[in-house]
DNA sequence: CCCGTGATACACT
DNA sequence: GTGTATCACGGGT
């Protein structure tokens, strides 16, 4: 028996509805492999960003800069940037080329490689703060800013996504306002944050 | 509540 | 080219 195709294909990410992609990313697995060491996390919290009308989006109104250029790549690429001088934030670009939209991964449930994640975070014991937040999960997974622009669907990459085995039903997906975007005026209140309701690994 | 941290974006020479 | 306000955070008080 051949193994089922587990890696999430490009067609998943190139769809134009970033809200739908954000919802469907819940329950999927984010995987990194560095020097043969693999870490796996189940996505439990996402946020959507889109250039059209969304003032919280770095690509708002089609604004292209050196940093945001990768947001205009075809869906399925990584957009990684440094926030507040310390934290690497990992996003997945969505949609067609030349449209700036992406999904921020905000929290993971550790699935595999917890000892290495703990080491990267300088922690002794498994507790929520290991991966509950976009900056901490990037550190736990060993995500590097140099990976921005990487094609997440092109093996063998250091980072990719696979279908998870526990996908939440629509009833178990909660929507709320995005975190930390108060500067974006009325857009800050849009319910573009998606979580697996009640999951213990959520941020905040 | 407070603040470290450094890249980035953009205004202005 | 240079100055500087800002930031999709996290940890501690």
Distance A17 CA to B7 C1' (A): 30
Instruction: State percent of chain A over pLDDT 70.
Output: 98
Name the nucleotide nearest A204; use CA and C1'. Answer: C10
Query: Over the stretch A100-142, which tens digit does the pLDDT of each residue have?
Result: 999 999 999 999 999 999 999 999 999 999 999 999 999 999 9
Distance A95 CA to C10 C1' (A): 31
* Distance in angstroms (rounded) separating the CA atoms of residues A13 and A78: 11
Half-sphere exposure of A10 (CA within 13 A, CB side): 11
What residue is closest to C11 (Cα–C1')? A129
Structure-token pair, residue A59: 């690509």
Is residue A1 scored above 80 in pLDDT?
A: no
Q: Which nucleotides of C are covered by protein (CB under 7 A)?
A: 6-11
Query: Over the stretch A151-184, which tens digit does the pLDDT of each residue have?
Result: 999 998 999 999 999 999 999 999 999 999 999 9
Report residue A2's pLDDT band, with 50, 70 and 90 as the boundaries.
Answer: low
pLDDT at A130: 98
Whether nucleic acid strand C comes within 7 Å of the CB of A22, the answer is: no
Report residue A4's pLDDT band, with 50, 70 and 90 as the boundaries.
Answer: low
Name the nucleotide nearest A59; use CA and C1'. Answer: C8
Distance A119 CA to C10 C1' (A): 18
Distance A149 CA to B13 C1' (A): 35
Whether nucleic acid strand C comes within 7 Å of the CB of A65, the answer is: no
Domain ranges of chain A: 11-196
Distance A67 CA to C2 C1' (A): 21
For domain A11-196, give the fold: 3-methyladenine DNA Glycosylase; Chain A (3.10.300)
Report residue A33's pLDDT band, with 50, 70 and 90 as the boundaries.
Answer: very high
Q: Which residues contact A119 (CB under 8 A, 6 or more apart)?
A: none
Query: Over the stretch A20-32, which tens digit does the pLDDT of each residue have?
Result: 999 999 999 999 9
Distance A1 CA to C9 C1' (A): 46
pLDDT at A204: 86
* Distance in angstroms (rounded) separating the CA atoms of residues A99 and A59: 9
Residue of A148, A4, A10 lying closest to A69 (CA atoms): A148
Residue of A182, A142, A149, A169 lying closest to A38 (CA atoms): A142
Whether A111 contacts A140, CB under 8 Å: no
Name the nucleotide nearest A83; use CA and C1'. Answer: C7
């Amino acid at each position: 028996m051949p193994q089922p195709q587990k890696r999430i294909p490009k067609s998943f990410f190139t769809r134009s509805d970033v809200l739908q992609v954000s919802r469907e990313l819940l329950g999927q697995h984010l995987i990194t492999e560095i020097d043969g060491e693999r870490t796996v996390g189940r996505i439990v919290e996402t946020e959507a960003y889109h250039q059209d009308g969304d003032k919280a989006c770095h690509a708002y109104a089609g604004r292209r800069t050196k940093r945001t250029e990768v947001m205009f790549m075809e869906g399925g690429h990584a957009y990684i940037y440094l926030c507040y001088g310390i934290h690497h934030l990992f996003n997945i670009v969505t949609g067609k080329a030349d449209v700036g939209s992406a999904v921020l991964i905000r929290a993971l449930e550790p699935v595999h490689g917890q000892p290495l994640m703990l080491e990267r975070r300088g922690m002794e014991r498994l507790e929520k703060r290991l991966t509950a937040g976009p900056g901490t999960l990037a550190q736990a997974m060993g995500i590097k800013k140099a990976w921005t622009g990487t094609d997440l669907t092109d093996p063998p990459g250091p980072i990719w996504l696979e279908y998870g085995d526990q996908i939440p039903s629509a009833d178990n997906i909660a929507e709320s306002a995005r975190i930390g975007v108060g500067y974006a005026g009325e857009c800050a209140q849009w319910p573009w944050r998606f979580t697996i309701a009640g999951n213990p690994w959520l941020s905040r």
